[in-house]
Amino acid sequence: MRLILMGPPGAGKGTQATRISERYGIPAISTGDIFRANVAAGTPLGVAAQTYMDAGEYVPDEVTNAMVRDRLAHPDCQRGFLLDGYPRTLEQVKELDQMLADLGTQLDGVLVLSVDAGVLVERLLDRAATEARADDTRNVIGRRQQVYEEQTAPLVSEYDARGILAHIDGFGRIDHVTDRVYTAISRLSSVPDRTGRLAPPARR
Ligand code: ADP
């Protein structure tokens, strides 16, 4: 199963990604987490990414694309994967298409988590209090939302045109959102989950 999880900052992608990963036995690949780990370890990749991240801007496509290409070549991706936070630009969509073609595979679905903008800011400011992420300040949150609207929201119609998009209401209790996510995946995919249940064939 090869999935993309999209949604604005604070939509709850990371939380749902962990659950999807466990249920379907596929790695959840978060470009944000990989960047943060590299920043913390002081690697050249982290040094290249940090200024952009702290300002709420996207890391340049060539840096991000190379990192994802490398990650998708790992053996744990052979059975599938969930991409959290990638692609975020139309250029990254093109590059991902090429990576998947090179691997002889294709996407099963794109999940879009949506949540009201006001709720998003509250969630991120709450998270700032516990996780101390450098980009969870009110100013940077505003910029991240703007960059998402400008650069990433257009990807929704791109994937919708391909017939592999599922909208998910990200508002409400985490467990309820997870139920909606599983339902959406079962509609998109004919791959069994770890419970052995076989979902109906995709409507493509
Ligand atoms: P959020 O979705 O809450 O903004 P992430 O952890 O997914 O948080 O991403 C944090 C930051 O990492 C982004 O603001 C950006 O600077 C960088 N980043 C993550 N994914 C990408 C990507 N696909 N392209 C460019 N930059 C990215």
Task: Answer whether 53 contacts ligand 1 (Cβ < 6 A).
Answer: yes
Does the pLDDT of residue 183 top 50, yes or no? Answer: yes
Each residue's pLDDT tens digit, 123-160: 999 999 999 888 999 999 999 999 999 999 999 999 99
Task: Answer whether 34 contacts ligand 1 (Cβ < 6 A).
Answer: no
Q: Which residues, at least 6 apart from 154, have a Cβ–Cβ distance to it below 8 Å?
A: 90
Task: Report the pLDDT value the prediction gives residue 118, as an integer from 0 to 100.
Answer: 86
Does the pLDDT of residue 39 top 60, yes or no? Answer: yes
Q: How far, in Å, CA of 34 to CA of 36, rounded?
A: 5
Task: Report the pLDDT value the prediction gives residue 204, as an integer from 0 to 100.
Answer: 43
Catalytic-role residue among 19, 23, 94, 133: 133
Q: What strand order describes the sheet that includes 81-84?
A: 28-30, 81-84, 2-6, 109-114, 165-169
Does the pLDDT of residue 2 top 80, yes or no? Answer: yes
Task: Answer whether 59 contacts ligand 1 (Cβ < 6 A).
Answer: yes
